[in-house]
Structure 1
Amino acid sequence: MRKLKSAMTELVDQFVALPTATHWLIGGMLVIHFVIAPRFGMLAFSLFSLPGTVAHELSHWIIAFVLGARPSFPRLIPKREGGSWTLGSVRMSPNIVTRIPITLAPVALLPLGIWYAVAHSEAQGGWYFAHIWVTSTVLYASLPSRQDWLVALPAIICLGLGYFALRQWL
């Protein structure tokens, strides 16, 4: 555990040491992702978000597979559901214990996005901007979606109540 903490600290230090322009560009791409891209329609937004969407859905699929929740292969084609759009989904059969790690798996993309930014910081020309784009979409994808929170919430409530009940008895 100590080695993991040391490795994560080193990775964050390397990320912080990146040139200021890189941080500004990543931040600018995140602003584009949150504010500008959605205004160009779902097709433009989904294409702009594709690397992050693939990473987000694969994180669900990998954890569901490892935990035995029988996941279907990720669907990456945008779909209108009610009044909103979903960029992708993974069907699975989680139980109350596996819901939290499966639905919150995209949070693990945060260190992956930071690593990707550090690993490709020496890129030149157009490749530099391509790596900034991939980094920003992966960082954006590390946020669990509204649906992820809705699926995880019952398990989080049950675990929280169980924790406080056990705490009273012990």
Structure 2
Amino acid sequence: MIDCSAIAPAWICQYRGAAFDMLLYLAPSVMLALVIRRLAAWHPFFLLFRLAGTICHELAHFFVGLVTYARPAAFSVVPRRMAGGWQLGSVSLTRVRWYNAAPAALAPFLVAGVPLLVALWRTRPGWQFEGIDLLLAFAVAPQFLACWPSAADWKISLRSWPYLVIAALAWGALHYLHFS
């Protein structure tokens, strides 16, 4: 078990708090994610290290698609060579409408909760680095790469443009009621 002062300068350890502990805990995973991203761009073999993140990314689409009635029909995490790169996975939704396009397409943002929950669990009061934390760093790193929606996801989310109109009307009504 390793104490904060064994891996970081004393001036960093003096600012310890719950949020700081979580950031300190997640820093190796973020750095490892950057290494994995670079290696995967260099050679397709290293896409294997992104598999855990790809599974979470696609499961987020799948389950949010189920909840919002977008009817997920197919699920794949087998990488396919595409023009200009690789498609790491996909979920086919058969009933994408204006009300469920954005939630289903932007669901990978939920994957960011995985590293946060792991950090919250592991940095409880009195925490110290242990052997399991090295394994968790490798498991959490791909989640940082998977929590951002793809370009295709962003295009699909634009089908929910009426949300912007509804939000603007709600904001206008609240603003009007508050100042009248």
Q: TM-score range by the shorter chain?
A: 0.7 to 0.9
Deviation (angstroms), 1:23: 3.7
Matched, 1:131 2:136: yes
Cα distance change on mapping 1:42 and 1:32 into 2, 3 Å: same
Choose 1 or 2 for highest CA Rg.
2
CA contact (8 A) 1:110 1:138 kept: yes
Paired with 1:59 and 1:23, the residues of 2 have a C-alpha distance of: 21
* C-alpha distance in 2 between matches for 1:61 and 1:43: 26
Counterpart amino acid of 2:104? I
Moved more, 128-137 or 27-36: 27-36
Preserved contact between residue 15 and residue 117 of structure 1 (Cα < 8 Å)? no
Q: How many angstroms apart in 2 are the aligned matches of 1:98 and 1:25?
A: 36
| Residue of structure 1 equivalent to 2:69 | 68
Question: Cα RMSD over matched residues?
Answer: 2.7
Q: Does 1:34 align with 2:37?
A: yes
Q: Displacement of 1:63 after TM fit?
A: 0.6
Can you list the C-alpha shifts for 1:30-88, whole angstroms capped at 9, x where unaligned? 2113323321x22322x110111110000000010111111024201001232221100
1:85 maps to 86
Cα distance in 1 for partners of 2:168, 2:27 equals 43
Q: In the alignment, does 2:164 pair up with 1:160?
A: yes
Between the aligned partners of 1:142 and 1:79, the Cα distance in structure 2 is 20
Question: How far, CA to CA, are the matches of 1:19 and 1:108 in structure 2?
Answer: 18
Report if the CA contact (8 A) 2:74-2:93 is conserved: no
Alignment correspondent of 2:114: 112
Distance in 2, Cα, partners of 1:101 & 1:57? 13
2:146 matched residue in structure 1: 141
1-side partners of 2:141 and 2:59: how far apart? Answer: 17
Q: Secondary structure at the match of 1:74?
A: strand
For 1:37 and 1:15, the matched residues in 2 are separated by 31
Question: Structure 2: how far apart are the matches of 1:136 and 1:24?
Answer: 10
**Which of the numbers 93, 103, 106 marks the counterpart of 2:105?**
103
More strand by share: 2
